[in-house]
Amino acid sequence: MVFAAINAWLLAKVMLMGEIFHLADNLKHKPLIYPIAFKSAVFSILLISFHIIEEVLIGVWHGRSITESMPAIGGGSLKGIFFIGVIMFFVLMPFFALREIGRDLGDDKLYELFFVRRTKYVPVQSQSS
């Protein structure tokens, strides 16, 4: 339980560092589906890569070889790692969807929509001449 919490904390730090360095931010002016899907894919690859590196470093620290230290993600096969990546891709989509919507609406408006009583949305009418 404690190890899982520490591992989650480390992976959260990896995501934070990715966001600090604006990883996968080059599609932010496209329709929302593009930056959401792209960020989900990039961060899935990033998280799996860092998890593998972390497990190898722990194994080497304990005196095992690099090959012995490779984690058995998804059964240890390339196919298993691919499917774990696909699962992470879909798991990260709501996270990045809310981040992108918050960026467009404003974080205060998103907070208001979730935690304050909502008012009915009335679109702003454009003043066409």
Q: d(Cα 10, Cα 47) in Å, to the nearest integer?
A: 10
Determine contact, residues 112/106, Cβ cutoff 8 Å: no
Joined together, the tokens standing for residue 91 give 């798991």
The answer to whether the beta carbons of residues 97 and 32 sit under 8 Å apart is yes
Distance CA 39, CA 45 (A): 10
What is the pTM (predicted TM-score) of this model?
0.73
Query: What is the overall mean pLDDT for the chain?
Result: 81
Q: Do residues 37 and 70 lie in contact, with contact meaning Cβ atoms separated by under 8 Å?
A: no
Reduced DSSP (H G I as helix, E B as strand, rest coil) percent helix, strand, coil of the chain, to 5: 70, 0, 30
Average of pLDDT values for 116-121? 71
What is the spatial distance between Cα 65 and Cα 9, in angstroms, rounded to a whole number?
26
Task: Please give the average per-residue pLDDT across 92-117, as a whole number.
Answer: 85
Gap between the Cα atoms of 90 and 15, Å rounded: 16
Compute the distance between CA of residue 66 and CA of residue 76 in angstroms, rounded to an integer: 14
Q: What is the pLDDT of residues 53-102, one digit of tens each?
A: 877 788 888 887 777 766 666 566 777 778 888 998 999 999 999 988 88
> Which segment of 22-31, 36-45, 52-61, 87-96 scores lowest on mean pLDDT?
52-61
Q: In angstroms, rounded to a whole number, what is the distance separating the alpha carbons of residues 59 and 14?
A: 20
* pLDDT > 90 fraction of the chain, expressed in percent and rounded: 18
